[in-house]
Amino acid sequence: MSLRDLDGWTVLFDLDGTLVDSAPDLVGTLNRLLVEEGLPPARPEAARTLIGSGARALLAHGFEAAGADVERARSDALFERFLVDYTAHIADGSRAFEGVVETLERLAERGAVLAVATNKRSDLSELLLDRLDLRRHFLAVAGPDRVSARKPSGAHLKEAVAMAGGDPARAIMVGDAAPDAEAARDADMPCVLTTFGYTPVPVDTLGGDVLIDAFEDVEEAIDGILAEFYVRRALKA
């Protein structure tokens, strides 16, 4: 099968749980703060499912699950401490999932524009991408602070595509959790979901168009989505 070129297409990637297995350091920071506060640390397998709506949500849910009252769990002072600790440990154990670099290179060689659409703050996202030498692959990094509304709003995805100079009608979202699938639906974009990311509910209930068990399968998933796109367009013509 000859591969179609991807000129004119933008592929958006979620960061945590899609490009990078960042749970060890996010949960590491959460647990250091819990222990400092005299609370029990979270089980990593449970805490990782809380990732996907930003650090503030992880912190608040993690603290509430450990028995802290809501006011303490949501205080700005605690969030500031989270940021200081996480910034210092952001790439201690976090690594790109297997196949990420090769796959991003292949997509770029085929003409796709690549960008990141994440609920992780832009400064932290860029720091993490820099530390793992991944930033060079992306034309734009859209954290929630750079868009008018964060995922699950479709505005996050449309504005990320625009930041990369692309067309939202020719864009595909790749993510791992409900905010990604909902944002894609809201933006009317096809959505690929990883089965190795972080979600509290089964990933096959989220309504993604294609599920992938390995990052390298992104390319085949995109080819399938494009094939359908062009068949539909030909039928309309």
Ligand X SMILES: O=C(O)COP(=O)(O)O
Active site residues: 14
* 187 lines the binding site for ligand X (CB under 6 A): no
3-state secondary structure 75-100: CHHHHHHHHHHHHHHCCCCCEECCCH
Instruction: Tell me which of 20, 21, 28, 52 binds Mg ion, using CB under 5 A.
Output: 52
70: tokens are 């809501």
- Answer yes or no: is 186 a known binding residue: no
Q: Is 92 annotated as a binding residue?
A: no
Q: Note whether 176 binds Mg ion by CB under 5 A.
A: yes
Single out the residue of 124, 174, 178 nearest to residue 151, CA to CA: 178
Q: How far is the CB of 136 from ligand X (least distance, A)?
A: 18
Binding mask 182-221 for Mg ion (x = CB under 5 A): ----------------------------------------
Question: Whole-angstrom Cα distance, residue 118 to residue 149?
Answer: 12
Among the residue ranges 36-44, 114-122, 165-173, 212-220, the one whose residues contact ligand X (CB under 6 A) = 114-122
* For ligand X, the closer CB: 18 or 103: 18
Residue type, 154: G
Strand pairing of 210-212 and 191-194? parallel
Q: Coil, helix or strand for 155?
A: helix
Nearer of residues 16 and 182 to Mg ion, judged by Cβ:
16
If the CB atoms of residues 4 and 24 are measured against Mg ion, the closer one turns out to be 24
Provide Rg for the chain, Cα atoms: 18
Whole-number minimum distance, CB 112 to ligand X, in Å? 19
Residues 6+ apart with CB under 8 A from 32: 85
